[in-house]
């Protein structure tokens, strides 16, 4: 993608997000730059803003419904981007991905049975077992090697962690926080294990439209392994890619009717309908925002290059480059800053990062680089003041 495409859109303006209550910007004091929670500081694509304005102008905001145009839009997106022919009735539109993780535990396991996931992992995965009265089971990913191998899935270790009571595997694909885009071999191994041990896989593919590495592409687990249909829930949403997380709109894609019914039944009376604005935004995202997404990927790659340049000069800090997402997972274990480096960086640099311990990995921090370049530069310069050699 050339610079002309990038320049059609505004990824540079500093938007004052403190004028509205937000999770990201109000958590810390006014002099802190927040690079923690996973939303971006860019304005959403123009077609989304226009669709929302039209809907707001209408003035009546009663209960919404999922339009056939939205189901059609997701079918097309799936076919065009991922060569996966999903159907209208596989789609259960829901207000969030995290509720679906918890609902899956309720739907596909009994109290006390095992919910397995890998670490490090997006923190709500680690809370599902406790939330639902199940047994938490975890296995560590294999760490990056000195010669440039990224984070990988160790299939032997995964299989060893599966117990007779394990029922559900919560899987993140691409992976938050490492940004790994899993290989076909890793996914084939995972699929075989799920079949062999009769597990339901919940594949959280929320970051799948944010592949940064041009050499890689996202392959939905359901497309690569149709044999998983009777045991697979795929979670998608426009929220991360198009920066509409606050509009609470996601989709559980479930091909198998029995599995779908069990999931729906578990949510009966608990899972509210989707916000009417979220539904409008989703249609616009999946039908009109591909050029914006391409431009975004250019911006994010340039931001990542900047992060990498800084990290190289920080002694004892390493980064295995994310292949997807706008998140950099930094290993601070040899930095001399102890198990909670983000506290030190918050104090010393006035930059807020996410704490590795919450992801099951003390000594790491997660840095969100989805923000205007000049802001990112300011944050990196501040960190450099503390960490630079």
Which residue lies nearer to ligand PLP by CB, 96 or 341?
Answer: 96
Which residue lies nearer to ligand PLP by CB, 350 or 366?
Answer: 366
Which region, judged by CB under 6 A, interacts with ligand PLP, from 13-21, 91-99, 290-298, 299-307? 91-99
Applying CB under 6 A, the site for ligand PLP has a residue count of 13
Interaction between residue 38 and ligand PLP (CB under 6 A): yes
Which residue lies nearer to ligand PLP by CB, 165 or 264?
Answer: 264
SS3 6: helix
d(Cα 188, Cα 8) in Å, to the nearest integer? 40
| DSSP secondary structure letters along 311-377 | HHTSTT-EE---SBSSEEEEE-TTTTS-S-HHHHHHHHH-EE-EEGGGGT-TTEEEEE--S-HHHHH
d(Cα 133, Cα 246) in Å, to the nearest integer? 28
Half-sphere exposure of 190 (CA within 13 A, CB side): 31
Interaction between residue 172 and ligand PLP (CB under 6 A): yes
Peptide bond into 204 cis (omega under 30): no
Name 33's bridge partners.
Answer: 351
- Cβ contact 296:372 at 8 Å: no
Interaction between residue 78 and ligand PLP (CB under 6 A): no
d(Cα 22, Cα 354) in Å, to the nearest integer? 16
> Strand pairing of 166-172 and 351-352?
unpaired
Identified binder of ligand PLP from the candidate list 105, 250, 311, 317, rule CB under 6 A: 250
Which residue lies nearer to ligand PLP by CB, 96 or 189?
Answer: 96
Which residue lies nearer to ligand PLP by CB, 249 or 289?
Answer: 249
Interaction between residue 367 and ligand PLP (CB under 6 A): no
Identified binder of ligand PLP from the candidate list 55, 74, 108, 204, rule CB under 6 A: 204
Which region, judged by CB under 6 A, interacts with ligand PLP, from 48-56, 96-104, 137-145, 365-373? 96-104
- Tell me the closest approach of the beta carbon of residue 389 to ligand PLP, in angstroms: 32
Which residue lies nearer to ligand PLP by CB, 267 or 337?
Answer: 267
Name 93's bridge partners.
Answer: 251
Interaction between residue 239 and ligand PLP (CB under 6 A): yes
- Cβ contact 157:148 at 8 Å: no
Which residue lies nearer to ligand PLP by CB, 134 or 175?
Answer: 175
Interaction between residue 40 and ligand PLP (CB under 6 A): no
List residues binding ligand PLP (CB under 6 A). 38, 96-98, 122, 172, 176, 204, 206, 237, 239, 245, 250
């Amino acid at each position: 993608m050339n610079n002309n495409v990038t320049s059609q859109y505004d990824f540079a303006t500093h938007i004052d997000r403190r004028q509205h209550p937000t999770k990201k910007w109000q958590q810390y004091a006014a002099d802190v730059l927040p690079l923690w929670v996973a939303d971006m500081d860019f304005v959403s694509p123009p077609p989304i803003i226009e669709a929302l304005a039209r809907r707001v102008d209408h003035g009546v905001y009663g209960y919404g419904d999922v339009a056939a145009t939205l189901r059609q839009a997701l079918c097309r997106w799936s076919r065009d981007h991922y060569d996966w022919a999903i159907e209208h009735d596989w789609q259960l539109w829901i207000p969030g991905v995290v509720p679906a993780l918890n609902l899956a535990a309720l739907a596909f396991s009994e109290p006390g049975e095992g919910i397995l996931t890998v670490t490090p992992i997006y923190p709500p995965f680690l809370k599902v077992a406790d939330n639902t009265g199940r047994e938490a089971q975890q296995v560590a990913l294999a760490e990056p090697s000195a010669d440039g191998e990224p984070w990988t899935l160790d299939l032997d270790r995964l299989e060893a962690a599966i117990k007779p009571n394990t029922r559900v595997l919560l899987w993140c694909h691409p992976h938050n926080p490492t940004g790994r885009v899993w290989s076909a071999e890793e996914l084939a191994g995972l699929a075989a294990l799920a079949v062999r041990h009769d597990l339901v896989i919940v594949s959280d593919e929320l970051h799948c439209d944010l592949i940064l590495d041009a050499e890689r592409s996202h392959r939905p687990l359901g497309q690569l392994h149709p044999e998983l249909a009777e045991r697979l829930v795929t979670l998608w949403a426009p929220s991360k890619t198009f920066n509409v997380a606050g509009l609470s709109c996601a989709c559980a894609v479930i091909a198998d009717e029995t599995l779908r019914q069990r999931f729906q039944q578990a949510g009966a009376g608990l899972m509210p309908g989707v916000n009417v604005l979220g539904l409008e935004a989703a249609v616009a995202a999946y039908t009109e925002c591909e050029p914006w997404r391409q431009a975004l990927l250019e911006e994010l790659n340039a931001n990542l290059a900047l992060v990498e340049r800084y990290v190289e000069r920080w002694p004892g800090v390493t980064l295995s480059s994310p292949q997807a997402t706008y998140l950099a997972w930094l290993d601070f274990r040899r930095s001399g800053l102890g198990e909670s480096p983000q506290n030190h960086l918050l104090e010393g640099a006035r930059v807020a990062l996410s704490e590795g311990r919450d992801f099951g990995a003390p000594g790491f921090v997660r840095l969100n680089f989805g923000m205007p370049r000049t802001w990112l530069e300011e944050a990196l310069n501040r960190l450099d003041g503390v960490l630079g050699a």
